[in-house]
Structure 1
């Protein structure tokens, strides 16, 4: 099947009046914006940016929820020759002080010429920009009101996206994505998924995260398919609305991390699905974090009586420095699990690892040792990526805490994994592990086992490292419940041998996370080692 390459703004020339984006409203309905209407708004936004003095190469920050205004802000910046940069709105953070500290660093890095926001973000962002000495943010609707559209787009900027990393291993870093890299990644994803305009998509993922922005929204728009859009907090309140949209609208493509599948399993009962059908779902991309095979099996068991195909579950792997997608399971192949060769490599044998598919077109993935030598199948090492859609570099000080780097030999991801028969199996972050009796054990593997034994995701994080010269494993709880300590002790004691075991008991919501919800392990570990949790830390016991 031939899937054509498409330019980032090509859709403006042939924007459909019959297809477009449907936004969930508060009345169980959907507000429709045709691609023709969106194209007109994009060119009005571009005209407003140029009139405001935005010049080619300037950065335009977008602090907006998923909305027609966000689409117009993103593509309008490109049409004005500027570089869009999506920054998390306040709803993505639980505490105001955490938000302003996080966003302040992003604005310092991005140094935007202009900031577009929505009404609910204005006051919070105004404080941040004032502290940075930047111009006041402007509300999108007022910014474009009455503006004449740009007659035609200006040439694309060299850097088409300033994308921030999730910050799971430290502070978020700004990654420069070229126009060609973004185009290559979108094309690679469409060809992997055999994605055509007639297949509707659906997403509730935040548009400040690369999976929601590139994997869903930009692909919907550039492909020209119908897109059914929900807000992240809307999905959390009513996951059934997301499932009903798939059934009622014939949605064929969507994406989400593992935790969202687990959330659906907790919130949705078989009886809730009566009368729904999921035969239309061709591709449900699963990525952004470690994938639990039991969650995949249970999710399929829940939806299979209603026509959901097991082969529609497509594990994938990627990251901001690769624009987004690196590997993905081909349609109809069916996901599998694998284990590394422990006898020869000392790999993590704690749990079976879900395969994350094969390299997309134009990309090469290899596993290397600490000495940089390529390793054979089933040997654990660092994942290194080469080929198209690799980022041009970082903005400002790239730092080194995350372990990810862009080098001559390619993108050194800082992730541990292994290859088997051409498929990539991802274990976890290098540096988030501990060698026990000659074998590496990774924090994400232990967390997977804890989730399988009843501790929900986002309520526990496992930290591994050497503290004061002593190998240490810590279970960090967000509002610990009866029985959780015993479960954590059983798992950590089995896999960590003689390591010191600690329990850090924080209030609910106290586990520091990225804007996409992943635990910021290295930040938490640094706080633990510095004594920041002294009054909340005690030995982890079976009691």
Structure 2
């Protein structure tokens, strides 16, 4: 049966009292909100926003954790004829000064007409809003208290979402997503995955990130299937609780970055899974960062004996500027890893690349050279995306060091990759590479090798560039442990012959990351070149 296109607010007219969203609570239980209850809350939110002066096309900033209030805030802004945007709450940042710079920049860029936040975020957001010359924020509870709902939603705004980029190369940028682009991306994902209301889904992803927001929450609500929601920090505390949810609730779909799979592998032992079953799980979407083939193999080895089908692991590729999804493997297809042509083999630094599937309907993906010409299969170049669901542009200043750009030629992603048999294989950011002996080596490839040799994710970052005219590779360690420097020296010396090799040590948690956890490589690189880490910078050499 064909899966139809659905408007973003169509679900309000057919909201179920039996299906809805379930949120994990502190009592190892779940709090259920039906779609009928959520629909009423959406229309109350819309009325409250209009009463606070929000007009057609205004922006409403949401600084909230995953919650019924966030879902109502997002769809309530749309029902009020306004454009929602989601900012990371403070919990997503380890350092208060990093958060202040991040959130303050975004508030100043989008200048929302209203800011709706959690109780726990109110104090910080109030200060940042005042600094930006904005009206005081309001908590969601205070916003809707005593408000009667609108009888029906107002016409949708032209811009249905301002989605922020990860900011791995500098400040995050606000991407303007049209109603048509958001709707067609959700439709494309439903058809790719075969989403139906009877197939429940679960997520621990933050809703300020496009994978958690568009890829999960919006897809779940607009389609109308049951969604089981955990907080990211709850997942970090107990990944086993999330796995129990997948088993006990017969979850069919979930999503996470490679880091999530790797974290489960570190924290969950085979004996912990006794009595659990994952045979209902048909879609584990893996995106947002490069996928490690060994992590996929090890994850299947852990959960496979409990019913997980290898074909349920679905590497995918997307970006904020493409609304989200660009390519993905079909459920049941089975993932594969490949290398580019021999002439570009150094691009991988000794690792194979996992295929991220084929373009979703209405999208085309090409690999382009520096001069813009299309490259044949197997050759490495820049990934360029064209077709439906491409963003309209950026909010305010479009300048960025990321290399991503929108224009008549489509979306130039700034990502390096190649194609094989119609599949896209993503290597890493073009700006995070270094040419060695005429071939490119990518930071993400070197990090993958370090992870495979035992250095945990989020504890090491590799930086590549030219420093004072000298090709340089830097290993940044967060809470360095015995043996890490030697391992890093072996890997970097092998793949960066002739380059200067440095190590930088920062405290655990001291590697600057985006709100989605990616290393801000170019930001750290600039800091290294400026001498900010001079006291802990030294030559990377074997220990002893």
How much does 1:343 deviate? 2.2
Instruction: Indicate the residue corresponding to 1:496 in structure 2.
Output: 496
1:406-456 C-alpha deviation (Å, 9 max, x unpaired): 011110000000011100000000010111112111000000000000000
Mapped to 1, the partners of 2:433 and 2:54 lie a distance apart of 46
Equivalent runs, 1:33-72 vs 2, <5 Å: 33-72=33-72
Instruction: Indicate the residue corresponding to 1:12 in structure 2.
Output: 12
Instruction: Indicate the residue corresponding to 1:386 in structure 2.
Output: 386
Equivalent runs, 1:102-251 vs 2, <5 Å: 102-251=102-251
Instruction: Indicate the residue corresponding to 2:350 in structure 1.
Output: 350
> 8 Å contact 1:176–1:391 — kept in the other structure?
yes
SS in 2 for 1:13: helix
Which 4+ runs in 1 deviate beyond 2 A? Answer: 342-350
- The farther-off stretch of 377-386 and 95-104 is 95-104
Instruction: Indicate the residue corresponding to 2:314 in structure 1.
Output: 314
Mapped to 2, the partners of 1:510 and 1:488 lie a distance apart of 18
1:486-539 C-alpha deviation (Å, 9 max, x unpaired): 000000000000100000011111100000000000000011111111111000
Mapped to 1, the partners of 2:170 and 2:415 lie a distance apart of 15
Mapped to 1, the partners of 2:303 and 2:348 lie a distance apart of 31
Mapped to 2, the partners of 1:431 and 1:31 lie a distance apart of 44
Mapped to 1, the partners of 2:529 and 2:70 lie a distance apart of 41
Mapped to 2, the partners of 1:446 and 1:31 lie a distance apart of 43
SS in 1 for 2:222: helix
Mapped to 1, the partners of 2:14 and 2:431 lie a distance apart of 48
> 8 Å contact 2:339–2:345 — kept in the other structure?
no
SS in 1 for 2:199: coil
How much does 1:344 deviate? 6.2
> 8 Å contact 1:528–1:534 — kept in the other structure?
yes
**Structure 1-normalised TM-score?**
0.99
**Structure 2-normalised TM-score?**
0.99
Instruction: Indicate the residue corresponding to 2:283 in structure 1.
Output: 283
Equivalent runs, 1:298-337 vs 2, <5 Å: 298-337=298-337
Mapped to 2, the partners of 1:349 and 1:513 lie a distance apart of 23
Instruction: Indicate the residue corresponding to 1:456 in structure 2.
Output: 456
Instruction: Indicate the residue corresponding to 2:511 in structure 1.
Output: 511
How much does 1:398 deviate? 1.2
Mapped to 2, the partners of 1:448 and 1:317 lie a distance apart of 18
Mapped to 1, the partners of 2:49 and 2:103 lie a distance apart of 23
1:97-138 C-alpha deviation (Å, 9 max, x unpaired): 111111000000110000001100000101100111110000
How much does 1:4 deviate? 1.1
Instruction: Indicate the residue corresponding to 1:431 in structure 2.
Output: 431
1:315-363 C-alpha deviation (Å, 9 max, x unpaired): 0000000000000011111000010113268643520000001000100
- The farther-off stretch of 72-81 and 349-358 is 349-358
> 8 Å contact 2:347–2:442 — kept in the other structure?
no
Mapped to 2, the partners of 1:313 and 1:326 lie a distance apart of 17
How much does 1:400 deviate? 2.6
SS in 2 for 1:168: coil
Unmatched 5+ residue regions in structure 2? none
Mapped to 1, the partners of 2:279 and 2:345 lie a distance apart of 42
> 8 Å contact 2:349–2:442 — kept in the other structure?
no
Mapped to 1, the partners of 2:253 and 2:346 lie a distance apart of 38
Mapped to 2, the partners of 1:54 and 1:252 lie a distance apart of 38
Mapped to 2, the partners of 1:257 and 1:347 lie a distance apart of 22
Mapped to 2, the partners of 1:348 and 1:119 lie a distance apart of 46
Mapped to 2, the partners of 1:118 and 1:320 lie a distance apart of 24
SS in 1 for 2:14: coil
Mapped to 2, the partners of 1:268 and 1:172 lie a distance apart of 34
> 8 Å contact 1:339–1:349 — kept in the other structure?
no
> 8 Å contact 2:159–2:176 — kept in the other structure?
yes
How much does 1:95 deviate? 1.1
SS in 2 for 1:466: strand
Mapped to 2, the partners of 1:98 and 1:474 lie a distance apart of 22
> 8 Å contact 1:339–1:352 — kept in the other structure?
yes
SS in 2 for 1:350: coil
2:364 matches 1:364: yes
Change (3 A) 1:243 1:345: closer
Mapped to 2, the partners of 1:349 and 1:63 lie a distance apart of 40
- The farther-off stretch of 430-439 and 6-15 is 430-439
